[in-house]
Amino acid sequence: MRVVIVEDSAVLAEGLNLLLSTSGFEVVATVDQAAPFLKIVEEGGTDAAVVDIRLPPTFRDEGVQAALAARRLVPGLPVLVFSQYVEQVYARELLSDGRGGVGYLLKDRVSRVGDFIDALKRVAAGGTAIDPDVIGQLLVRRDSPLTRLTAREREVLEQMAQGLSNAEIAAKLVVTERAVHKHIGNIFAKLDLDPGDSGHRRVRAVLTYLDA
Amino acid sequence: MPDMLPFLRLTERAEKGTRAALYLSVGLGTGLVSLLILATLLVSVALVAVAGAGLIVLPVHLSLVRRWADAERRRTGSFLGRVIPPRHRPLPAGFGARLRATLLDTVTLREVAWLVWQAVAGVALGLIGMVALVGVPSTLLQTALWWMAPDGEPATLALRPVSDWPSALLLGAVQFTVLSALLLWGARPLARLHATVAAALLGRSRVDRLAERVETLSHTRAGALDAHAAELRRIERDLHDGTQARLVALAMRLGLARSRIDEDPEQAARLLAEAQSGAEEAMTELRQVIRTIYPPVLSDRGLVGAVEALAARSVVPATVSVDDLGAVPASVEATAYHLVAEALTNVAKHAEASRAEISLSRIGGWLRIAVTDDGRGGVEEGSGTGVGGMRRRVAALDGEFTVVSPAGGPTRVEALLPCGS
């Protein structure tokens, strides 16, 4: 799989390069700014991108803008955005085109090598990987419809938002897949959502709902 | 719809004219009261000259003038859409000192000058305002009902007697035109003239302003330096006790793991795992420290974006309304952000509110931040509600801070921060 890294910190870029190439990805380019990244994307042949949020020249949210611009060039281009801190507003913006293939993670998660690689693979396959901290931010709101959920259902939702499949959630929470299926049914019912979707559309539905 | 535009402009003009005429009309009343106060003030002064008795009456009188002027400061300020700050320093205790402070205060003189202005121009312009306000509807009534006037005392329109319908309609139209023009085009300039002069007299004089500013600045500067030093110490402590300590422990585990890797690979693996979680904890902690220094979202998205992010993650549902803020200095943005964050935390912790409202607006050279909740109110400073901390933050920037929180709510926290223009 051909991956572009957009990261201005040389240390981190090198680390990511090492991590991805040893995990079976082909790193086609490492750039430190939005413009060359978009040029590479436009040339085609990129399967996924890993993008830092803060980039030169202003070190603000160029990464988010670059990711959105890249996905306007190549709709659905899998992009994993990562940052030193997470804000749910960024997650909302990244997910807003509803195409999936979006990841939004804290930089810390890179240290869990296996999880990080899994997340990138999920994103590359059109799924989502939203950081648990974002979901945590959503859970504190008192008026959130999520308050209707049981603790277990919230756990399931959190895993779901991170992009895990039912089987993966079952393994992680040490319950049967049937139980997970039932929890998800309850979640959809309690949040008045249309059941039946899977993958990133579930996350989008949840985020859209919370946005209202 | 371009053809709607002139009409809309006219309604807007009528609204503004009515507001101005109202302001002038109320000025008629306050002008008369000012005249009364002025007259009794003269008596007081005369009493001082004649007998010592005036010395007791005069200060009471002057404090009445103060309060009266404060009321007008609010009224004129709200008409002009800016704050006319009450400029008095609190009066010292003791009768003699109090008298001296009141008499020597240059503002007292300016307030007396304002009383004269209000008594003369306020009454005159107030009458015009009154005419502008009731003129249009009363013209319509007069025109329609001219025939009801008793014989020998015919109704007048446009200052001329009316004897039949054609003359009533013609003269009515003339009077209507003149009076609507007064309301639409005349009332506002007159009201602004009146308000501007009043504001100039009631506002601080340049010397006053400078003197007061030097005083508050030297006071707040000392406070700001203290706060700054305390903040640096806190950051140093957080980094030293937290992050640095964790990194040491982490390096130690890595070293141990390296020395053990051949002898006891299992223990080495355990140490590596511990080192990894140690690194993650250090990152989490570092993130929190950074957030308290300068919130990253603030530098990424600016004040409005950052406050919207705060509202989005607020425990109590919060809405944000923002006017055009213009350029806001970074230190003001940071203070504003922390204020909103603390206010929302307070709302979540103490207010038992169901919703909160954040508003950011620009009033001249000031940024106004207001957080209102529909909770139970009764916030008291110093009861561990964080209000004292907010006040200190605002004071450090030479701003103004108020909390209005009657028992039963609602609570409104408001800060005015100078933006240096």
Q: Identify all chain B residues contacting A54, using CB atoms and an 8 Å cutoff.
A: 300
Structure tokens at A200: 């990133």
Fold assignment, B299-418: Heat Shock Protein 90 (3.30.565)
- What is the share, in percent, of chain B residues with pLDDT greater than 90? 15
Structure tokens at A132: 């648990």
> Cβ–Cβ of B309/A89 closer than 8 Å?
yes
Q: A173: domain range?
A: 135-211
Best CA proximity match to B249, nearest among B280, B215, B290? B280
- Regarding whether A170 and A93 lie in a shared domain, the answer is no
For chain B, what are the domain ranges?
2-202, 207-293, 299-418
> Cβ–Cβ of B313/A88 closer than 8 Å?
yes
Q: Identify all chain A residues contacting B348, using CB atoms and an 8 Å cutoff.
A: 142
Q: In this structure, is the dihedral angle defined by the CA atoms of residues A44, A50, A56 and A61, taken in order, positive or negative?
A: positive
- Regarding whether A173 and A98 lie in a shared domain, the answer is no
If one counts every other C-beta atom within 10 angstroms of the C-beta of residue B51, the result is: 9
Instruction: Point out the domain boundary residue: A82, A114, A130.
Output: A130
Q: Identify all chain B residues contacting A85, using CB atoms and an 8 Å cutoff.
A: 287, 290-291, 296-297
pLDDT interval class at B409 (50, 70, 90): confident
> Cβ–Cβ of B313/A108 closer than 8 Å?
no
Please count the structural domains in chain A. 2
Torsion of CA B375, B376, B381, B382, to 10 degrees: -100
Calpha distance B179→B239 (Å, rounded): 72
The enclosing domain of A150 has a CATH number of: 1.10.10.10
pLDDT interval class at B393 (50, 70, 90): confident
Residue A48 or residue B242, greater confidence: A48
- Regarding whether A141 and A126 lie in a shared domain, the answer is no
User: In this model, does residue A27 exceed pLDDT 90?
Assistant: yes
CB A199 within 8 A of CB A124: no
> Cβ–Cβ of B299/A59 closer than 8 Å?
yes
Q: Burial code of B154-180, b = ≥16 C-beta within 10 A, e = fewer?
A: ebebbeeebeeeeebeebbeebbeebb
Q: Identify all chain B residues contacting A137, using CB atoms and an 8 Å cutoff.
A: 312-313
Can you state the angle between helices B5-50 and B54-80, rounded to 10 degrees? Answer: 170
Instruction: Considering only the beta carbons, identify the residue of A59, A89, A107 that sits closest to B308.
Output: A89
Best CA proximity match to A164, nearest among A147, A184, A145? A184
> Cβ–Cβ of B309/A53 closer than 8 Å?
no
| DSSP string computed for B219-232 | HHHHHHHHHHHHHH
Q: Is B148 exposed, middle or buried (0-12, 13-18, 19+ CB in 10 A)?
A: exposed
Nearest-neighbour CA in chain B from A191: distance (Å)? 18
Nearest-neighbour CA in chain B from A81: distance (Å)? 15
The strand pair at B366-373 and B411-418 is best described as antiparallel
> Cβ–Cβ of A142/B299 closer than 8 Å?
no
Predicted confidence at residue A51, as pLDDT, reads 95
User: In this model, does residue B69 exceed pLDDT 50?
Assistant: yes
Highest mean pLDDT, choosing among A82-91, A116-125, B10-19, B289-298: A116-125
Q: Is B243 on the interface with A (CB under 8 A)?
A: no
Instruction: Considering only the beta carbons, identify the residue of B280, B309, B354 that sits closest to A87.
Output: B309
> Cβ–Cβ of A143/B317 closer than 8 Å?
yes
Structural Rg of chain B based on CA atoms: 32
Please tell me what DSSP assigns to residue A61. Answer: S
Highest mean pLDDT, choosing among B154-158, B184-188, B263-267: B263-267
- Regarding whether A120 and A49 lie in a shared domain, the answer is yes
Average pLDDT over residues B184-201: 86
User: In this model, does residue B361 exceed pLDDT 70?
Assistant: yes
> Cβ neighbours of residue A124 under 8 Å, at least 6 residues apart?
A1, A47, A48, A78, A101
> Cβ–Cβ of A111/B305 closer than 8 Å?
no
Q: How many beta-carbon pairs below 8 A join chains A and B?
A: 53
- Regarding whether A143 and A47 lie in a shared domain, the answer is no
Best CA proximity match to B415, nearest among B390, B379, B388? B390
Average pLDDT over residues A21-26: 92
Strand partners, A106: A83
For the segment B49-64, what is each residue's pLDDT rounded down to a tens digit? 776 666 777 777 887 8
User: In this model, does residue A190 exceed pLDDT 50?
Assistant: yes
State ipTM: 0.71
- Regarding whether A192 and A99 lie in a shared domain, the answer is no
Strand partners, A48: A3
Predicted confidence at residue B92, as pLDDT, reads 67
Instruction: Considering only the beta carbons, identify the residue of B300, B305, B312 that sits closest to A88.
Output: B312
> Cβ–Cβ of B301/A142 closer than 8 Å?
no
- Regarding whether A115 and A60 lie in a shared domain, the answer is yes
Calpha distance A144→B376 (Å, rounded): 22
Predicted confidence at residue B54, as pLDDT, reads 64
User: In this model, does residue A47 exceed pLDDT 90?
Assistant: yes
Instruction: Considering only the beta carbons, identify the residue of A60, A106, A143 that sits closest to B300.
Output: A60
For the segment B88-129, what is each residue's pLDDT rounded down to a tens digit? 666 666 767 767 776 777 778 888 888 898 888 888 888 888
Residue A8 or residue B217, greater confidence: A8
Predicted confidence at residue B295, as pLDDT, reads 87
- Regarding whether A92 and A57 lie in a shared domain, the answer is yes
Residue of B nearest to A55 (CA): B300
For residue B318, give the 3-state DSSP assignment: strand
- Regarding whether A110 and A141 lie in a shared domain, the answer is no
Nearest-neighbour CA in chain A from B300: distance (Å)? 4
Q: Round the average pLDDT of chain B to a whole number and report it.
A: 84
Write down the residue that tokens 């308290």 correspond to: B292
For the segment B248-307, what is each residue's pLDDT rounded down to a tens digit? 889 889 989 999 999 999 999 999 999 998 898 898 889 888 888 888 888 888 899 999
Calpha distance A132→A106 (Å, rounded): 9
Which residues 77-116 in chain A show a CB within 8 A of chain B? 84-85, 87-89, 106-108, 111-112
Average pLDDT over residues B26-39: 89
Which residues 360-399 in chain B show a CB within 8 A of chain A? none
For residue A126, give the 3-state DSSP assignment: coil
- Which of A62, A87, A105, A133 to substitute to test the interface with B, most B CBs within 10 Å? A87
> Cβ–Cβ of A108/B284 closer than 8 Å?
yes
The strand pair at B318-322 and B160-161 is best described as unpaired
Predicted confidence at residue A212, as pLDDT, reads 40
Which residues 288-327 in chain B show a CB within 8 A of chain A? 290-291, 296-297, 299-301, 305, 308-309, 312-317
- Regarding whether A149 and A99 lie in a shared domain, the answer is no
The overall pTM is greater than 0.90: no
Instruction: Point out the domain boundary residue: A103, A130, A157.
Output: A130
pLDDT interval class at B183 (50, 70, 90): confident
- Regarding whether A142 and A41 lie in a shared domain, the answer is no
Cα B141–chain centre separation: 42
> Cβ–Cβ of B287/A111 closer than 8 Å?
no
Instruction: Point out the domain boundary residue: A130, A163, A196.
Output: A130
Average pLDDT over residues A14-40: 93
Residue B224 or residue A101, greater confidence: A101
Instruction: Considering only the beta carbons, identify the residue of A84, A88, A141 that sits closest to B296.
Output: A84
Residue A207 or residue A91, greater confidence: A91
Q: Which phi and psi angles does B204 have, rounded to 5°?
A: -80, 145
Q: Among A57-71, B214-228, B276-290, B311-325, name the one with the lowest average pLDDT.
A: B214-228
User: In this model, does residue A130 exceed pLDDT 70?
Assistant: yes
- Regarding whether A169 and A124 lie in a shared domain, the answer is no
Residue A71 or residue A147, greater confidence: A71
Average pLDDT over residues A26-30: 95
Predicted confidence at residue B4, as pLDDT, reads 64
Predicted confidence at residue A60, as pLDDT, reads 86
Calpha distance B385→B93 (Å, rounded): 31
Strand partners, B359: B321, B370
Residue of A nearest to B282 (CA): A108
If one counts every other C-beta atom within 10 angstroms of the C-beta of residue B245, the result is: 13
Q: Which amino acid does the sequence have at B419?
A: C
Predicted confidence at residue A63, as pLDDT, reads 92
Instruction: Considering only the beta carbons, identify the residue of B283, B296, B312 that sits closest to A89.
Output: B312
Calpha distance B375→B408 (Å, rounded): 7
Q: Does domain B207-293 have CATH number 1.20.5?
A: yes
- Which of A86, A109, A142, A207 to substitute to test the interface with B, most B CBs within 10 Å? A142
Residue of B nearest to A138 (CA): B313
